[in-house]
Copies of this chain bind each other. A is one copy, B any other.
Amino acid sequence: MATIREVAKKAGVSVATVSRVINRTGRVKKETEEKVLEIVKQLNYTPSSIAVSLNNKKSKTIGLLLPDITNPFFAELAKGVEEVAKKKGYTVILCNSNGDLQSELDHLQVLEQKYVDGIILSSHTLTYSHIEECKIPIVSIDRTLDGKLSSVTSKNYEGAMLATRHLLKKGCERIAHIAGPQNIVTARKRLEGYLAVVKDSSWYSDELLVYGDYEIQTGYEATLKLLNSTQKIDGIFAGNDLMAVGSLKAIYSLGLRVPEDVAVIGFDGINFSKITIPELSTIAQPIFEMGLLATDTILDEIVNSKKNQSFHELSVSLIERDSTKKSRCDY
């Protein structure tokens, strides 16, 4: 790779001049500029971003720290992040933490060493104390961190109420909930939303509430447990789409039908929810947009070195598909 010095020499000017024309900073005679540009093209010169970074302590790079890129929710998010980043001339470093605290800490350290300009973070183990001495802007996705960091979240509580009420409206008379891991805020909020709607019902009992870990398999197991209980359950609100998919499978494996015997609704609105059989009703978060917004937010903090945080809480929406279309109560 050619260096700025080679360009300067070949163009018969100083490195400063080359730098000026490259960055459009300072005045340069039209003529000189053209000459330089010509050599630049000829030598196929591009500035070393490493050297640039060393100067201005900026890397035009943002870190994206996720629990699991294999989870469609995060993959869609990542795609959104990458898209905006690229458009704005930023590069994204992907870090997969598997939800492991030590791994997150390691990644964070590496990101700092690499002078990333900002970090988009989705973690449920990290607390504010872990990152308070980190002076790189961070925005948190999916949860707020003590109100100390900018965040992009969505209305989990309201969404859960929406889901539960939808089941009710569809004629379900005994609605169970497969809650996500309670160390994750979204899971707690969704549980609260569910409880807010059902807890005063004559039929509500603790046995309608089981826990999973947001993965398919636990949705499957939880559903088996629910349906094998003595109570006749005719509606399941799964804490996320992945567990809902597991639920669908479990119901099917018991020889029951969705939605005739048991209606199912998920949460998230991942792309895969519309390809299950039957298609899954869900509370959709604007996942891709969350990625875009998070990136816009972090870029805003980076570029304008904003000090104050912003908190975005996005709306969710009910997507009604076949898994809750009970004919008997269709409206």
A245 contacts across to B, CB distance below 8 A: 275
- A278: min CB distance to chain B, Å: 8
The answer on a CB contact under 8 Å between A93 and B94 is yes
Tell me which residues from 65 to 84 in chain A have a Cβ below 8 Å from any Cβ of chain B: 68-70, 72, 75-76, 78-79, 82-83
Assuming the A-B contacts A69-B75, A79-B68, A275-B249, are A54 and B50 also in contact, with contact meaning beta carbons closer than 8 angstroms in the complex?
Answer: yes
Does residue A182 face the partner (Cβ distance < 8 Å to B)?
no
Does residue A91 face the partner (Cβ distance < 8 Å to B)?
yes
- A205: min CB distance to chain B, Å: 29
Determine the distance from Cα of A277 to Cα of B75 in the docked complex, in whole angstroms: 23
A113 contacts across to B, CB distance below 8 A: 46-50
Tell me which residues from 275 to 304 in chain A have a Cβ below 8 Å from any Cβ of chain B: 275-277
The answer on a CB contact under 8 Å between B82 and A94 is yes
Does residue A271 face the partner (Cβ distance < 8 Å to B)?
yes
What 3 A-B pairs are tightest by C-beta distance, nearest first?
A94-B94, A49-B113, A82-B96
Does residue A254 face the partner (Cβ distance < 8 Å to B)?
no
For chain A, what secondary structure do more than half of its interface residues adopt (helix, strand, loop), or is it mixed? helix
Determine the distance from Cα of A113 to Cα of B110 in the docked complex, in whole angstroms: 19
Determine the distance from Cα of A99 to Cα of B170 in the docked complex, in whole angstroms: 43
A82 contacts across to B, CB distance below 8 A: 69, 94-96
Determine the distance from Cα of A50 to Cα of B327 in the docked complex, in whole angstroms: 63
Q: Which residue of B lies closest to A89 (CB)?
A: B110
Interface size range of chain A in the complex: 35 or more
A93 contacts across to B, CB distance below 8 A: 61, 91-94
Determine the distance from Cα of A193 to Cα of B319 in the docked complex, in whole angstroms: 41
Number of copies of this protein chain within its complex = 2
Tell me which residues from 107 to 131 in chain A have a Cβ below 8 Å from any Cβ of chain B: 107, 109-110, 112-115
A61 contacts across to B, CB distance below 8 A: 93, 114
Does residue A180 face the partner (Cβ distance < 8 Å to B)?
no
A272 contacts across to B, CB distance below 8 A: 272
A96 contacts across to B, CB distance below 8 A: 78-79, 82-83, 86
Does residue A329 face the partner (Cβ distance < 8 Å to B)?
no
Q: Which residue of B lies closest to A71 (CB)?
A: B75
The answer on a CB contact under 8 Å between A76 and B83 is no
Q: Which residue of B lies closest to A245 (CB)?
A: B275
Q: Which residue of B lies closest to A1 (CB)?
A: B112
The answer on a CB contact under 8 Å between B59 and A69 is no
A271 contacts across to B, CB distance below 8 A: 70
